[in-house]
Amino acid sequence: EPPAPGRPVVSGVDIDELIEEIQEVDFDYDAERIARNPMTPRVGPRILAEGAEDGSLDSRDPDARALESALRSVQVSGIMYDEAHPLAVVNNEVVSAGVEIVQGMRVETIAEDHVVLQVEDTTFPIYLEEL
């Protein structure tokens, strides 16, 4: 039977005992937080930053700008990961390792959360889009 309006609900829980059991825990937010800005997309700029670290992309080089544009247009929207035969949805096409998605750009490997593209002697990870 529901209690009358305005009357407290009585249960077998001892609130004072629960309060005594509360423990404070030291927590360093800065040490635990994720270094990545959650507002930064995982597709696009991250590719270029990783490629640029080894000097493979120079924003002043017209060829590098064309490559940057081509990499930015690649979208990984799905991965069906299986160790033996992983597949990925790249630019709305189902692909496997070894497939050339555009001239000179080949799928090198497929991991659980990204696809590695090879352009000449340089590889670029393209991460699965987050929704």
| 75-85 pLDDT, tens digit each | 888 899 888 99
pLDDT reading at 104 higher than 90: no
Q: What is the pLDDT of residue 1?
A: 64
Token pair in block for residue 110: 């497929």
pLDDT reading at 30 higher than 60: yes
Q: What is the pLDDT of residue 60?
A: 61
Q: Output the pTM of the full model.
A: 0.55
Average pLDDT (50-71) is: 63
CA 121 – CA 101 distance, rounded (Å): 16
Counting every residue written for the chain, the total comes to 131
Phi, psi of 123 (to 5 degrees): -110, 150
pLDDT reading at 25 higher than 90: no
- Give CB contacts under 8 A, 24+ apart, made by 105-111: 105/70, 105/74, 110/79, 110/81, 110/86, 111/79, 111/81, 111/86
As a whole number, the mean pLDDT across the chain is 77
pLDDT reading at 131 higher than 80: no
How far from the centroid of its chain's Cα atoms is residue 4's Cα?
Answer: 52
pLDDT reading at 120 higher than 70: yes
